[in-house]
Amino acid sequence: MTAATVVLPPRRLIARTLGAPGAAIGLVVLVVLVLGAILAPLLTSFDPDATRVCRRLAPPSAENWFGCDSFGRDIFSRILHGGRLSLAVGLLTVAISLVAGTLMGMTIAFLGGRADSIGTRCLDVMLGFPPIVLAILIVAVLGVGAFNAALAVGISGIPRFARVVRSATLSLVSREFVESARAVGAGQTRILRRHLLPNLMPVVIVLASLDLGGAILSTASLSFLGLGAQPPTSEWGAMLNAGREFMRYAPWTMIFPGLALFLAVMSVNLVGDRLSHVLDPRAGGRV
């Protein structure tokens, strides 16, 4: 087992992760947001895309808890339904970065030599661009839309995953269990899949949990700039963009979507930060 990670049984991992009040609160908030998105049709009777279900820019009331937007659409309903897209796009983004980055980092570190040198230089070039700028460039090529925005943010996150996984892999390739696998004739694919990947999973889990909040925020930022989800789709970043011109006299059009986005990112970051401490070998898993 690598010294770069601490592997705990799932039950102990969950117990220690929730041992910190911040992580427990973050998980509760995240569960509430996820359940709200899943149960959105049961929690509100308003169609999120139906116009004039209430008075235009009506303030929060007993009937419309979060008020209405400039088209008379219920903001509470749009936030609940928008959570489906915002959270799903964030997960898709992290999945793209995780899979591609992990495979790339493992492969170039395991092969070494020229493959590692060329791969590292490619990562350095990609890391030279700020992630949001790289994502905007990719969207400019692919076209606007929620899926393309997720793909762009996912691609821009690949070098971060690949860099960390490469470093962790380099600490594993010279260890005894890899040498033993080579000695008994195991192929490169088998060594990567059966020996290296399981030992890298704690690193990948922590990295994904820490990156998820940024992924949600980045995809919402693209939607806010008009490059992600397009009207009339319910999405938190697009709702912020639609409400910005009414901020002075109808602030609820931005406050509630912004609050939903803040809570989602904060809760994910709290859980991810706790996971990084639990799986930190310097803490010995004793946190």
- Segment 150-192, tens digit of pLDDT: 999 999 999 999 999 988 888 887 777 776 777 776 666 777 7
With cut-offs at 50, 70 and 90, classify the pLDDT of residue 287: very low
What Cα–Cα distance (Å) separates residue 121 from each residue in 112, 116, 132, 159, 207?
Answer: 13, 9, 20, 11, 22
Sequence ranges of the domains in the chain = 21-36+75-283
Closest by alpha carbon to 211, among 95, 130, 128?
95
Given a cut of 80, whether residue 228 has pLDDT beyond it is: yes
Is the peptide bond prior to 231 cis by the omega test (within 30 degrees of 0)?
A: no
pLDDT on residue 195: 73
Residue 128 has pLDDT above 50, yes or no: yes
Task: For residue 241, list its beta bridge partners.
Answer: none
User: Tokens 């591609």 identify what position?
Assistant: 100
**How far is residue 218 from each of residues 5, 22, 133, 242, measured CA to CA in Å?**
28, 23, 10, 17
Position 280 scores a pLDDT of 63
Give me the pLDDT at residue 96, please. Answer: 94
**Higher-scoring residue by pLDDT: 281, 223:** 223
Q: Amino acid letter at 134?
A: L
Percent residues over pLDDT 90 in the chain: 36
pLDDT at 2: 40
Give strand pairing partners of 68. Answer: 74
Reduced to 3 states (helix: H, G, I; strand: E, B; else coil), residue 74 is strand
| Residue pair 232/138 in contact by the 8 Å Cβ criterion | no
Cβ 196 vs Cβ 178: under 8 Å: yes
Q: Enumerate the H helices of 75-145 as residue ranges.
A: 75-111, 113-127, 131-142
pTM of the predicted protein model: 0.85
240-284 per-position pLDDT tens digit: 999 988 988 899 999 999 999 999 999 999 988 888 777 765 544
How confident is the model over 86-98, as a mean pLDDT? 93
- What's the CATH number for 21-36+75-283? 1.10.3720.10
Token pair belonging to 257: 């979507």
pLDDT at 152: 92
Q: How far apart are CA 133 and CA 148, in angstroms?
A: 15
Other beta carbons within 10 Å of 283? 12
Determine the average pLDDT of the residues in 48-56. Answer: 82
CA distance 242 to 214: 22
Mean per-residue pLDDT of the chain: 85
